[in-house]
A and B are shown apart, each in its own frame.
Chain A
């Protein structure tokens, strides 16, 4: 019983320690508030740098450094206050094409970043920011799909001269078609099966009714596509808001979580995220009198009655151009009237039709309709229901002077805020379904700093007490356990950094708790060694027996805690998950440090020689 570790084992432990240290180091470097300037088009970095320098000098704002990046540059500041001021200055001073975003950048040296040694991300409760959980109104997409399907079924049946007496959409069921005879029903099934694949047909047992519904696979595809599209659009919008490191991810079947670190203005963030504003262009119906239509209520079939500045106006139903065809929109001011305007650029297919229509209708009027889908909650019979309605407003109806090409400007918006929101939403694209907030959490930056401070103090005090008691109680072995405890923190920190975990306050609590639980392994081993010494075993034999016998217990004890950790992780969200991850990983690393590392040190100190007495406190 020599109590010697083979060389490879010692070397492996040294390698783990060094790697752990390297990957944990970035967490010690502070994070600087930065303003990121980026451009979608290639730019000359030096000109941009001079421009930004000039803007900051005029505003008398102190900055730490300006570093060029692939698509722009990054300006570092000392405090978040200066950073916020600087963002406004740079945003207003620079050309509109630049995205000016707030962010935090680590001051980690480049050689560490080169081997992907990056600090842990801080959660919103530590950094400050806004968290949204958004519910996507997926059923409305399914409903729309059914309504479209109903139209095409009717059309198909008419084309095939199959008579039906009624067709309607039954919510959650499908499209119900009534036929005059069983014969017509069978014909219809044969016809529709061929024309519209992927549908489920169910004959009624009693009547000559047919229910056509979308298959489950089809419904799932619609749902998943809607969620993915929504997340794509939300990402665009978050980028437009100028938030670096934002997180947009699916949560459950119908929800999307959005984390916006550093953002304080929840109101604007929500307007932008949930905004459905878009534009539609319609020709004005000048063949009929809008005034008469309003008084009599007799609106021509192909037109719709709107109000503009208190006057009625008839618009043709056909959409000449919709928001989908707009590739770029920039808010500005009209040069002549100094009113808010949006510069529009077209692309993506709709523009040729638009040019043709405007060319054919020179001298006539065309209306621009501002469309917004709004959801309101109504309580009907004590049941909360979300009712969405479409808000339409004619913002202007100018006379077409000449054929409109890909670039033009629209005016008539309420204020410059509406202009900037509209342009942003047009750029980012329209949401496929309405979304509404089911959870919203905002944390101020001072509270975030306070939370970090609290977490660190708890760790320092708790760990300090443990370190002292361990040395008092177990002497040399206590020191060994303490080294293992510190190593455990380092390796845990490195592991969390490597997997890119987000650190939250409950996450820190998990780390603190791990420290308390990790030391248990050493207590178990040391108590066992003491016991074996009392039973008369020699020091070397006692070390061997102590480690050997305590290991099975340590393993069993940790497995149960791990089971709980896994359960927590699988059911929890955000902060609870953070706690589960740090606790579980901490237990795993503590098995390595508490058992293997301490054994290595003890072996190195006592192993392979004649020992009379162990310094273990008895």
Chain B
């Protein structure tokens, strides 16, 4: 079975002005969504208490909110969690009340509910985690950029880094736009996307390097086009296969890892696009040329086992 024409000659680079505009627009939209809506930080980062309870029948959310409001939990957020029977209650950090007492007081107001899970994170821990998370993203980006610059060429390193920044910002934009909670697991998903998206970019770049050496009489744009076309079936096959498992995680994995799987779904779709248009096109625009590959590339080939 073949889904793709093996001799496809889609002019990917021809559309690069359009896609560049599109990318910039989406990027701006993401930043605006982040600026306007802000990211809905999860408990891991803000600190506070979350209680997951389940009822034998569908839960009456307004009634729960009411009874919690009456006993003083004015800022408590009550949402259904996965099914109508499961409820998630989030309470901002209370400095003056002991954690255990707080949970007892909440549970007293919820007759018939069974406590499934209680998470308490101190505000200090949350702040530290947010700093660490930001650090992780920066370190990952830098480390992978250096690796690509070393293995390939600095322009490819730079353009792949731009593609990599592009992906997480877009994911964060979607989280901000739809008000989806961004917790520690979503951050893990985001970082996994950085790794995954880079896979795609590397496969394309690898072919670009090979073709620059092999095909003599072609412009950089043509070589980029050929390389993308040659790797197209692989790119789409792998994306589809990985999407299978990530969608399975999203559908069946439950509420706790939904943020994680959503970040991955968006990341895989966007990552496929960005490795072609952002990374590839940018490298060409930056003036990637055959002579950039000749000496180092020879060495690489000799080193192969």
Residues on A lying within 8 angstroms of B by beta carbon are: 125, 133, 135, 266-267, 270, 377, 379, 384, 437-444, 446-447, 450-451, 454-455, 457-459, 461-463, 465-466, 469-470, 472-473, 505-506, 509, 512-513, 515-517, 519-520, 523-524, 527, 530-531, 534, 548-549, 551-553, 556-565, 567-568, 571-573, 575-576, 579-580, 583, 617-618
* Nearest chain A CB to B274 CB, angstrom units: 14
A505 engages B245 (CB within 8 Å): no
Residue of A nearest to B237 (CB): A523
Q: Could you say which of B52, B99, B185, B246 contacts A575, with CB atoms under 8 Å apart? A: B185
Q: Could you say which of A515, A552, A580 contacts B206, with CB atoms under 8 Å apart? A: A552
Known: A266-B100, A450-B254, A458-B253. A379 touches B95 (CB 8 A): yes
Query: Assuming A455-B253, A469-B244, A563-B140, what are 18 further A-B pairs, CB within 8 angstroms?
Result: A266-B103, A266-B118, A267-B104, A454-B254, A473-B237, A505-B254, A505-B257, A512-B245, A515-B245, A519-B238, A556-B151, A560-B147, A561-B198, A563-B143, A563-B144, A568-B140, A579-B185, A617-B1
* Nearest chain A CB to B86 CB, angstrom units: 10
* Nearest chain A CB to B130 CB, angstrom units: 11
> B26 at the A/B interface (Cβ < 8 Å)?
no
B249 engages A556 (CB within 8 Å): no
A520 engages B241 (CB within 8 Å): yes
Q: How far is the CA of A125 from the CA of B122 in the complex (A)?
A: 19
B233 engages A527 (CB within 8 Å): yes
B2 engages A617 (CB within 8 Å): yes
Most chain A CB inside 10 Å of its own CB: which residue of B198, B234, B246, B261: B234
Chain B residues near A618: list those with CB within 8 A: 2, 6
B248 engages A458 (CB within 8 Å): yes
Interface size, chain B (Cβ < 8 Å): 76
Residue of B nearest to A130 (CB): B118
Chain B residues near A472: list those with CB within 8 A: 1
* Nearest chain A CB to B47 CB, angstrom units: 9
Most chain A CB inside 10 Å of its own CB: which residue of B151, B196, B240, B245: B245
Q: How far is the CA of A572 from the CA of B260 in the complex (A)?
A: 15
* 10 sampled A-B residue pairs with Cβ under 8 A: A451-B256, A466-B244, A512-B249, A513-B242, A519-B241, A564-B140, A571-B139, A572-B184, A572-B188, A575-B184
Q: Could you say which of B135, B147, B203, B206 contacts A559, with CB atoms under 8 Å apart? A: B147
B241 engages A524 (CB within 8 Å): no
A553 engages B206 (CB within 8 Å): yes
Q: Could you say which of A516, A531, A562 contacts B241, with CB atoms under 8 Å apart? A: A516
Chain B residues near A565: list those with CB within 8 A: 195
> B119 at the A/B interface (Cβ < 8 Å)?
yes
Q: Could you say which of A442, A553, A571 contacts B117, with CB atoms under 8 Å apart? A: A442
* Nearest chain B CB to A578 CB, angstrom units: 10
A556 engages B202 (CB within 8 Å): yes
* The 9 nearest A-B residue pairs measured at CB: A462-B245, A462-B248, A516-B242, A561-B195, A438-B122, A564-B195, A516-B245, A440-B120, A442-B118
